[in-house]
Structure 1
């Protein structure tokens, strides 16, 4: 790179220069004045810490990209001399303030962020002169704007080409009325499509959050308010499709004010995705205009709203995805949503009596669900393809009762932290004829696999921290599963120190992973001898494991990848690159990864 800079005198007609991604670039040469014809300069993803004023001599420069120059804290003071600059991309930088006279960059079209310097609210007047900005801009550190008159100087309403706007404060301000006045002055143009407000601490939102002022708004994100107790009337925004509300800690009730005046039409008539998260004091959702609101809502997510008690909208005719987690006081029936496709519930008291029969994916964690309820859901959801159950302590011995019942769509089953689970359904090979993946993780009481065996369609099997089940491994009948290709175990041995036993694994296995095997000392050569297609062997956290015996017999010739991860001190010493005793034995393996 130094050679390039030394030859810049020979490149005086250069139009474009990109150093993007060169992490070893920490500074540019002090004198770039010879590159008079340069139009495009990209130094994104470099380690640049400072830009000298000589860059401002590139009077024909039109594009300057500084994306992810995270060490860069300041722009050159003469930046305003780049009178032909049209595009300035500052995403991912650490710029603390903008240089003075930014308003002289009158041709500027793209400015990804504008940082208001400390006690420099007057910078907004310079920003106001940038009349042709378009696309996306973030205005940051609005705490520095003390006078609302300065905020008005930004002239946001007249920037008619801007489509996306981020307004962000950086610290809590107890003068909520002042912050509201500042936000009032930043009323954007009516063509705005996406708006994000971060860390606003007014008690209310200004009037321009109503439909007449944001007729084209498609996406709105409101995040991090310590004092706001009332949400704006967003229900009448005619084009709003995505709404995300995070960390509004003083909101206790969401009621009619959220929906707006229904005489103007159905509230939230275009909304497709709605998310509430980390609303610490939220207790009640007054679902007004039931049957009229949210006619197009496809995705509803509510997370970490621990005081929320009631209720949910009950008629959501377009809902496809419902995701509720860590709302442990929420007791409500499921919405009436016939096209519901994905249901994810975690740590809440949602009633499961009326689960729709259209599910393709279901995830339940820390939910009260017993064998009867699970049986009912499986019988009534013939299209269910994925089932995830975690921390459901009432499940002991699930069975599926239904004459001739089988589900041809279920391909993935994941059981995690089922502390009381003792057995799996007896007729799994019949009930789930196309099961592709089965994971059993942290099921300490699970004693055995079904007597008739697992479905012959199984391709992936993972068994982690199931000690009683692992003890019965010789009765699993895995050798009959000719479709099984990928196996992951935590090898929990009591007396034996070698694994796997001869003929335990099916012959067509291509990938074998062993995790958290605290007592495992060696891998049994005879247990791998029949695995003619084994391509990948992966070992995680096996502190006593040594492969000396296996090396003496020879690693499988089919092996293409060997991975060693975590706490495996003996293996890492044995296979230390160029130095380890076993390193030469790995020469036929194309990919060896030791982490």
Structure 2
């Protein structure tokens, strides 16, 4: 029996259909269980669940307990095959790892699929061993490769040996979702361009470690989600990425109004350790299309951008019209963040994680993105302060500063600009923080959650809880130099639920509440 996801009632139906050799008409689970009891009563059985991909441990135990109730005979067994460690650990009482096939066995499977009459052409014989080695003892790989090379010539075999297996694949033109994982080739096939996959909506290219450039994708008109992961050899994302060419005289190979990734909503760049430069499309004056030259619209619909583990990246485009969510993680230079934010006005969610050179957030970015609701700065060891323009963020709901060991300063509110919408403030492992400005927290009238944890040098934390009417959760912990915390007014907070306060040091004082 073959299924990809275990659902108790559906599996019971499949077992019953296998036993009775007819489709189950009943809908009631209890009736199905009763019929299975009639079929299996007093018998021993071996149930094979082949190629199981997903298992909920709770549903699995429910399924097994149901089978035990159906037939109490000893000696019944369930055999599960899977390619996923998580599934194996969830279901297996006795785990057995299958060994790989010997090369001659792989060759036998491969030859049966690749050659209709079993005869191997002489010019192919020398390539056979190389192809079989690529199978790595996996029968499925031998079967797939054999089918791929069936009735193919010598040059197609050579392409496979060179790792360019995708060159031999011709996907269906109506394909909407495509994932290419661990591709060993050095270049991508021609079908991954405009016209050959016109309906592609979601594309993930992962582990393409030998490719030195990313494919041309910008003219995939319906593409909404794109992930580029593990391109270890790529040093530059060049203008060819966008699938347009602008000639020296300013004319486009297509027309004067160029659309690049017109419907793309989410873009992920991850694990690209050699990437130093991400270029946009240069505007060239023409005198025909306004004063800016050739009309280029890049990423007009992009809402989510995630750049992770691109440590050498130093430059990026800045043509993101409606970007709402930006994550930058594992990038040494702060220049990508500065570039990206230079023209942004629509940010709602910003996460900056492990940007080694970042000392402060771009003042212009905080001025322009007044709709920002969630701001997190994490693992930025040189990050030391928040700018005064922080208080322009009237929509900000959560502020997190975490593991920024040099962070020392939150500015004092100036004039009427306060964080009136702030609901959550978390300061964690900020060793440079000595004190918070007196009266700062009282300006946050909407604050519901306050966490100040493991700030080793924090000495002063002024709190006037009676002026913080929305506070419902407070966690102040692991600050060894903090002498005392005033929680005066706590009893006046009608919605307060949880308080974790101290200890701070061996001698510490919790100022009493006057009831």
What's the TM-score once normalised by structure 1's chain length? 0.57
Segments of 5+ residues of structure 2 without an aligned counterpart are: 30-43, 57-79, 85-104, 116-134, 153-157, 246-252, 284-295
* Deviation at residue 151 of structure 1 after TM alignment: 1.0
- Pick closer, same or farther for the CA change 1:180–1:238 going to 2, 3 Å: farther
Structure 1 residues 31-51: Cα deviation after superposition (integer angstroms, max 9, x where no partner):
997512245999xxxxxxxxx
Number of residue pairs matched by the alignment: 394
8 Å contact kept, 2:232–2:274: yes
- Pick closer, same or farther for the CA change 1:422–1:408 going to 2, 3 Å: same
Query: What residue is the counterpart of 1:299 in the other structure?
Result: 304
1:460-475 to structure 2, matched below 5 A, reads: 460-469=473-482, 471-473=483-485
* Deviation at residue 360 of structure 1 after TM alignment: 1.0
Segments of 5+ residues of structure 1 without an aligned counterpart are: 1-17, 43-51, 57-62, 71-90, 96-116, 127-138, 156-174, 508-595
Return the alpha-carbon distance in structure 2 between the equivalents of residues 343 and 202 of structure 1. 36
* Deviation at residue 149 of structure 1 after TM alignment: 7.2
Query: What residue is the counterpart of 2:22 in the other structure?
Result: 37
- Pick closer, same or farther for the CA change 1:94–1:475 going to 2, 3 Å: closer
8 Å contact kept, 1:243–1:273: yes
Structure 1 residues 290-349: Cα deviation after superposition (integer angstroms, max 9, x where no partner):
65211111111101111112x122121110011001101352423312111111112224
Query: What residue is the counterpart of 2:196 in the other structure?
Result: 213
Structure 1 residues 521-554: Cα deviation after superposition (integer angstroms, max 9, x where no partner):
xxxxxxxxxxxxxxxxxxxxxxxxxxxxxxxxxx
8 Å contact kept, 1:224–1:246: yes
8 Å contact kept, 1:69–1:92: no
* Deviation at residue 92 of structure 1 after TM alignment: 8.5
Q: Of the two structures, which has the highest relative contact order with CA contacts closer than 8 Å and spacing of 6 or more?
A: 2
8 Å contact kept, 2:424–2:450: yes
8 Å contact kept, 1:145–1:182: no
Q: Secondary structure at the match of 1:398?
A: coil
- The answer as to 2:457 corresponding to 1:445 is yes
1:209-248 to structure 2, matched below 5 A, reads: 209-248=192-231
* Deviation at residue 19 of structure 1 after TM alignment: 8.4
8 Å contact kept, 1:437–1:459: yes
Residue of 364, 374, 399 corresponding to 1:361:
374
8 Å contact kept, 1:410–1:435: yes
- Pick closer, same or farther for the CA change 1:277–1:445 going to 2, 3 Å: same
Query: What residue is the counterpart of 2:313 in the other structure?
Result: 308
What's the TM-score once normalised by structure 2's chain length? 0.65
Structure 1 residues 476-532: Cα deviation after superposition (integer angstroms, max 9, x where no partner):
664554432112345356269xxx97956x99xxxxxxxxxxxxxxxxxxxxxxxxx
Q: Compute the RMSD of aligned alpha carbons.
A: 4.4
Query: What residue is the counterpart of 1:257 in the other structure?
Result: 240
Query: What residue is the counterpart of 1:375 in the other structure?
Result: 388
Query: What residue is the counterpart of 2:472 in the other structure?
Result: 459
* Deviation at residue 153 of structure 1 after TM alignment: 5.6
Query: What residue is the counterpart of 2:91 in the other structure?
Result: none
Return the alpha-carbon distance in structure 1 between the equivalents of residues 445 and 144 of structure 2. 69
Return the alpha-carbon distance in structure 2 between the equivalents of residues 152 and 394 of structure 1. 59
- The answer as to 2:98 corresponding to 1:93 is no
Query: What residue is the counterpart of 1:268 in the other structure?
Result: 261
Q: Secondary structure at the match of 1:209?
A: coil
- Pick closer, same or farther for the CA change 1:250–1:53 going to 2, 3 Å: farther
Residue of 329, 342, 349 corresponding to 2:349:
342
Structure 1 residues 87-118: Cα deviation after superposition (integer angstroms, max 9, x where no partner):
xxxx99239xxxxxxxxxxxxxxxxxxxxx94
Query: What residue is the counterpart of 1:326 in the other structure?
Result: 330
8 Å contact kept, 2:373–2:397: yes
8 Å contact kept, 2:464–2:486: no
- The answer as to 2:393 corresponding to 1:389 is no
Structure 1 residues 362-398: Cα deviation after superposition (integer angstroms, max 9, x where no partner):
1112445554x43212x22111111111233443342
Q: Secondary structure at the match of 1:258?
A: helix
Query: What residue is the counterpart of 1:423 in the other structure?
Result: 435
Q: Secondary structure at the match of 1:276?
A: strand
* Deviation at residue 123 of structure 1 after TM alignment: 7.8
Return the alpha-carbon distance in structure 1 between the equivalents of residues 178 and 151 of structure 2. 16
* Deviation at residue 456 of structure 1 after TM alignment: 3.0
8 Å contact kept, 2:425–2:451: yes
